[in-house]
A and B are shown apart, each in its own frame.
Chain A
Amino acid sequence: MPQLEQLYLFLALVFGLSARFLSWRQWPWARDAVSLAFLLSWDPWAALAGVASGLAAWALGRSRVQALVWAGIAAVAAIFVAERVMRRLDGADLMLAPAGFGFLVLRLVHYLVERGRGALPEHGPRAVVAWLLYFPTVLVGPVQRFDDWLRWERRKHWDEADAARGLRRILYGYFTVVVLSFWGAGTLLVQVLLWMPDTLALALTGALTLYLTFSGLSSVAIGLGLLAGQRIPENFDSPFTKSDLPSFWRSWHRTVSEWCRAYVYLPLLARTRSSRLAAVVGMAVFALWHELTLGYLAWGAWHALGLGLWYRLAPPPETPRFRPLGWALTMGWVLAGFWILRVWPRGDAWYAR
């Protein structure tokens, strides 16, 4: 997708320069114009979906009728599941939804739940749409909470140190995506790990490539935010150095796992008082959000089992002598999870048979 890359880089330049040189009155217009220009030229449906769902979510939240807010959440969830099912109905991985759809759904549910709780500061519809379409994060996250985004947006602060850190993050991000993920994980490791069974070596290199590409793109997004003086939450925190599975999950695709914790795990725990059930359902939602397939369900179940075993059997995490063994067990468990995903037959959607 070279065209997308070039467009993204060009608009990133416009985004950064307008944050530096425009006044705070003019800057939001430039920011929203960049977001819209990117989506309209890449996938007009994504722009339309963002604007329409943002306005609808704001209007539902403003009505202050709880039933309407819950109907909105149910509608978002139903549309999401329907799209995931239809995408695989004829066996092909059809791209029906607008770009960034999975992330849009997470943001909308978060917004509606928090609005229903009355936990968000006063704001207009434009803020919701601007947040949903926010150029740095619109396609691949991180998923930033609305109140967090609004706080940084209202701070209206630009300084050189932040911008320099932003540029550095963007450079490190692209270096990770282009050089490390291609050369490091893609080729060198395969050669080193030739002794491994093929599927295991592929699972390992696949996991590393996924991590390097995704964390690199997250770095680029965070760096772009810093160019405009805004903080975007971290998505990864060195997950492959963790010596227990719960820590791994707190450092891997953090913004989405925190979403699952806040909107699936904790509400279910509060209602059922069963941490086991809440963990299994939370992990299943996290897994099926990626893809509605048995392979992902098995992957989610594997990690739910791992977390359950960990809380039941593991020594206190501070036990220093346990750290090397804990690291090996954690990495083994994670790698086995990726192996399950890789060996599971593609197109296994049970509803498509």
Chain B
Amino acid sequence: MVRALTERWAQLGRHPQGRILQIALETLWYLALFLATWSLWDTPRTWFGYLSL
């Protein structure tokens, strides 16, 4: 199923309008990742907790 989806995604990119859609979706995806990271940036966590190594 993953292979079929990857193939469909590649097919979409070969079509000019599909490529525009692909770029828009990729931009949204990276923006979502960035915003999620940004919004949780101040949550407590063990940043560089491996310094003690």
Contacts and interface: CB of A to CB of B under 8 A. Distances in A.
Interface of A: 1-2, 4-5, 93, 95, 99-103, 139-140, 168, 171-172, 174-175, 177-179, 181-183, 209, 213-214, 217, 289-290
A-B pairs, top 7 by smallest CB distance, nearest first, are A102-B53, A140-B50, A175-B33, A178-B37, A179-B36, A175-B37, A178-B40
Interface residues of B, number: 18
Nearest to A172: B33
Given A171-B33, A171-B34, A175-B33, A140 B40 contact: no
Interface in B11-49: 30, 33-34, 36-37, 40-43, 45-49
B52 interface: yes
Contacts of A168: 30
Among B33, B37, B51: residue with most chain A CB under 10 A:
B51
Contact of B37 (A102, A140, A179, A214): A179
A139 B41 contact: no
Contact of B53 (A101, A172, A209): A101
A178 B33 contact: no
A183 B40 CA distance: 9
A128 B33 CA distance: 37
Nearest to B43: A182
A5 B40 contact: no
Given A2-B42, A172-B33, A182-B40, 18 more contacts: A1-B48, A4-B48, A93-B52, A95-B52, A100-B51, A139-B51, A140-B48, A140-B50, A140-B51, A171-B30, A175-B33, A178-B37, A178-B43, A178-B45, A182-B43, A214-B50, A217-B48, A289-B53
A174 B40 CA distance: 11
A175 B31 CA distance: 11
A95 B37 CA distance: 30
B49 A213 contact: yes
Given A175-B37, A178-B37, A290 B53 contact: yes
Contacts, number: 57
B48 A174 contact: no
Contacts of B53: 100-103, 140, 289-290
Given A171-B34, A172-B33, A178 B49 contact: no
Interface of B: 30, 33-34, 36-37, 40-43, 45-53
B45 A182 contact: yes
Given A5-B47, A171-B34, A172-B33, A178 B41 contact: yes
Among A93, A139, A289: residue with most chain B CB under 10 A:
A139
A1 B52 CA distance: 14
B22 to A, nearest CB: 15
A344 to B, nearest CB: 17
10 contacts: A4-B48, A95-B52, A101-B53, A140-B51, A168-B30, A171-B33, A171-B34, A183-B40, A209-B46, A213-B46
A177 B48 contact: no
Nearest to A181: B45
A209 B46 CA distance: 9
Contacts of A183: 40
A1 B40 contact: no
B1 to A, nearest CB: 16
A120 B45 CA distance: 40
A95 B53 CA distance: 10
B40 A213 contact: no
Contacts of B30: 168, 171
A4 B40 CA distance: 17
Contact of A139 (B33, B45, B50): B50
